[in-house]
Amino acid sequence: MKMNKTGFINELSKQLSLSVEKCAVINDILEENFFISKKSKPKIIDELMNRLDINLDSAENIYDVSVKIYNSELKNKLHHPFGSKD
């Protein structure tokens, strides 16, 4: 699967059992920050808590799932740089 912005939001929605609208807000927060950098994690967690009105555990879970999806797609691109032949 080729992951684009919409694909990422849909995958977040599926894995987190949240609405696409909430996941779009999550994506906006991640795009506003360099979310792969561990230095950005505390700021992102704070923004998730504030903008989504959630607790620390929920915000950390969202961050962890987002990183997992991103890393999975990155690994897929490294293994299949030209896409699949389907």
- Rounded to the nearest integer, the mean pLDDT of the chain is 88
Which residue from 5, 10, 70 is spatially nearest to 40, judged by alpha carbons? Answer: 70
pLDDT at residue number 78: 72
Q: What's the number of CA atoms in the CB half-sphere (13 Å) around residue 10?
A: 7
CA 33/CA 39 separation, integer angstroms = 10
pLDDT at residue number 34: 79
pLDDT at residue number 85: 47
Region 11-26 average pLDDT = 97
| Dihedral angle, C-alpha 37, 48, 12, 69, nearest 10 ° | 10
pLDDT at residue number 55: 98
